[in-house]
Amino acid sequence: MFFRIVKDLVNSRGQMSVDLLIAVSVLVLSITMASYYVISAFVPYSGRDIDLQASAYRVAMILSEDGGLWVTSKQLLEPDWAQKILRNPNDYMTIRRDLKRIGLANTSTTYLIKLSYEVKIPCYLNATKVVLFFNESLWRNVFPPQPGYPYNYTLDELANLIGLNSSIRHYYYNVSLCYMNGSVVTLKNGKELSIGYPLYVKGRFIPQEFGKFERIVVLDNNKTISAYKYDPDNPPSDPSKCFLRLVVYVW
Amino acid sequence: MSRGQMYTLEALLASLIIFGVVVFAINSSPKFGTETKEFTTLQLKKYADDILEILDLENSTHESLLSKWIESGFKSSTLNWTAIELNLRKSLGVMMHVEVLDPNGSLVYSFGPPPPRGAVSSFRVVPVSTPPYAYEVRLYLWYV
């Protein structure tokens, strides 16, 4: 057939038929489309990658921009969950029942009193909430390990409180508060502010496919945390020395 | 001339049609890698949003570091952009450019190299206590 096409072109002095043009166009279209769709069939888990990135974004957003939710009464939810826990730190049943969402953002103190519990200040983290959130032993008491549960029950229950719902598929996650250079912030007693499944086991980075998202945040006080605090009443000329990175991995 | 045939010059048109078909086919096929690029851009955008959010945190008298800096006449002793730029470049590999515009859109302050194409920007309208009472602060970020 190829020789016939060449022969026709030579015999007709560079002329070609409209039929041939249509045939070549359809052929090229088919081959290109088919090759791209075949390639797409061999790209594994691309949908899952999008899901992991979106999940990491969601967790980072909830932790840095939301103050959290604590059920005060049937009609009332308040964000001062850390204060509520500190009032009765050993009442694990109440924490389990009334804590609906964990957010680390401060609430405004400069607005009207009526609104003061409703206005969140994104990226301005409440140090008390931060210390409680990264206290894994507290969560182990609130959500004690369940025999026969295939994963870490404590961490999976905590995941539900930070917007990571594992009911359809199981998510592993790790949340850390880091200095700008990437090393993990510590409490003044040396404990690192990191919670979740470990990222490294025997020096090997565990997640094969993961979503990662970061937010730049500052702390409202540093009584127990080894980091600069950011005081809006007396801000430093170089505020970046107060900047911290809230790093979320989901896999 | 045979019927149903065209001349060599018109073959140019034919090749254009074939080229158009190929471009159409490629554009209408599924794309790979765009999601990662979108999240990289989103990450940069959130860095910029967060920095402006922190610099514009109100104190008990409803002033922020940004508003104090503008009212001071853009003094680096109030807000040191050089130190912030150095920190971001060293720790995140991110370059920055800052612009301040008055309500007429005129540029009244600029810091850092001009942003390249693809730089991500965030802006914030900062109220101040002196005329013209509001300025727009734009922050551009891009990876080194």
Q: What does the pLDDT look like over A227-244, one tens digit per residue?
A: 999 999 999 999 999 999
User: Among residues A161, A162, A154, A181, which one has the least CA distance to residue A240?
Assistant: A181
Instruction: Provide the 3-class DSSP secondary structure of residue A206.
Output: coil
- Are A51 and A29 part of one and the same domain? no
One-letter amino acid for residue B42 of the chain: L
- Are A32 and A69 part of one and the same domain? no
- Are A32 and A120 part of one and the same domain? no
Write down the pTM of the prediction.
0.79
Closest approach of B71 to chain A, Cα-based (Å): 14
Set of chain B residues whose Cβ sits within 8 Å of the Cβ of A43: 32
Structural domain includes residue B2: no
- Are A81 and A155 part of one and the same domain? yes
Structure confidence at residue B30 as a pLDDT band (50, 70, 90): low
- Complete DSSP assignment for A84-122: HHHHSTT-HHHHHHHEEEE--EEE-SSS-GGGTTT-EEE
- Are A158 and A106 part of one and the same domain? yes
Q: Answer for the pair B142, B120: CB distance below 8 angstroms, yes or no.
A: yes
Task: Give the integer Cα–Cα distance in Å for A240 and B87.
Answer: 7
Domain count for chain A, please give it.
2
Structure confidence at residue A114 as a pLDDT band (50, 70, 90): very low
- Are A60 and A85 part of one and the same domain? yes
Structure confidence at residue B6 as a pLDDT band (50, 70, 90): low
Task: Give the integer Cα–Cα distance in Å for A171 and B31.
Answer: 26
The whole domain housing A10 covers 2-40
Domain count for chain B, please give it.
1
The whole domain housing B73 covers 35-143
One-letter amino acid for residue B140 of the chain: Y
Q: Is A19 on the interface with B (CB under 8 A)?
A: yes
Strands A120-125 and A105-107: antiparallel
A17 pLDDT exceeds 80?
Answer: no
Cβ of B5 within 8 Å of Cβ of A18? The answer is yes
- Are A84 and A14 part of one and the same domain? no
Instruction: Provide the 3-class DSSP secondary structure of residue A179.
Output: strand
ipTM over 0.90: no
pLDDT tens for A23-76 read 888 888 888 888 777 776 665 555 555 689 999 999 999 999 999 999 988 778
Q: Give counts: helices (H), strands (E), chain A.
A: 8, 12
Set of chain B residues whose Cβ sits within 8 Å of the Cβ of A218: 54, 57
Closest approach of B100 to chain A, Cα-based (Å): 18
- Are A21 and A143 part of one and the same domain? no
Q: Is A9 on the interface with B (CB under 8 A)?
A: no
CA angle, B90 as apex, A172 and B74 as ends, to 5°?
Answer: 115
pLDDT tens for A98-107 read 999 999 999 8
Which tokens is A186 given?
A: 């510590």
- Are A29 and A152 part of one and the same domain? no
Higher-scoring residue by pLDDT: A244, B25 = A244
pLDDT tens for A82-100 read 999 999 999 999 999 999 9
